[in-house]
Amino acid sequence: MTPMSRSKPIKIELVSDPMYLCGARELVSSIAHRVGFGDMECSKIALALDEAMCNIIRHGYNKATDRPIWLTIYPQQPDETTYGGIEIIIEDEAKQVDPSTICGRDLADIKPGGLGVHIMREVMDQVVFEKRNGTGMRLKMSKSAPRPDEAPRIGQRSSGSNPAQARIS
């Protein structure tokens, strides 16, 4: 799903307990920072991950707190069009659903719930749901850090600054 070259990933297994969402958010946010996203974008990427995991817990596992969720995060190397990015893969053993039926609700219909998929699609560049072989679902999300036209190229920056932080809001 991504043309960018991946770094080696970090893979962790979590249980489907909401109390561990904070740890997953911190992890992805830290890696996003390292890749070069700014504070606001890191927060939004963490939000997308949170929403994905909440959906698994709530809808896939019916709020069971002892089921597995596998999280894989690939930092992506810079290429000709970006300063890098991040790819997140989340897998579970929940009931399988037709990926084409997964969609957010109409935002004009204001009511509690149903915002998770909309948030994921709003925040990330690509969001792809698919069935795993056998059991469970897989969600792939990715986001690139755009290279502003006026930004200095790597190697042309003044020393002592953090160019990634300065480039990307």
Partner 1 sequence: MAAASDNDFVRTESPETGVVILVPTADIDMSRSPILRSAIKSELKPGLDRMIIDLGEVQYMDSSGLATLVEAMRIAKSHAVPLHLVSMTTKVRAIFEIARLDAFFSIKDSRQEALDC
Minimum distance between the CB of residue 159 and partner 1, rounded to whole angstroms? 30
| 23 Cβ contact partners less than 8 Å away, ≥ 6 residues apart | 14
Minimum distance between the CB of residue 54 and partner 1, rounded to whole angstroms? 5
Among 1, 10, 22, 97, binds partner 1 (CB under 8 A): 22
For helices 21-35 and 39-55, give the axis angle rounded to 10 degrees. 140
Is 167 near partner 1 (CB under 8 A)? no
Is 133 near partner 1 (CB under 8 A)? no
Is 103 near partner 1 (CB under 8 A)? no
Is 109 near partner 1 (CB under 8 A)? no
Q: Which is nearer to partner 1, 111 or 153 (CB)?
A: 111
Question: Alpha-carbon Rg of the chain, whole angstroms?
Answer: 17
- State how far the Cα of 100 lies from the Cα of 98, in Å rounded to an integer: 5
**Six-digit token pair at 53?**
């995991």
| 83 Cβ contact partners less than 8 Å away, ≥ 6 residues apart | 35, 36, 145, 146, 147, 164, 167, 168
Phi–psi pair at 76, nearest 5 degrees: -115, 140
Is 28 near partner 1 (CB under 8 A)? no
Considering only residues 58 to 97 of the shown chain, the ones binding partner 1 according to CB under 8 A are 58
Interacting residues toward partner 1 by CB under 8 A: 17-19, 21-22, 25, 39-40, 43-44, 46-47, 50-51, 54, 57-58, 107, 110-113, 115-116, 118-119, 122-123
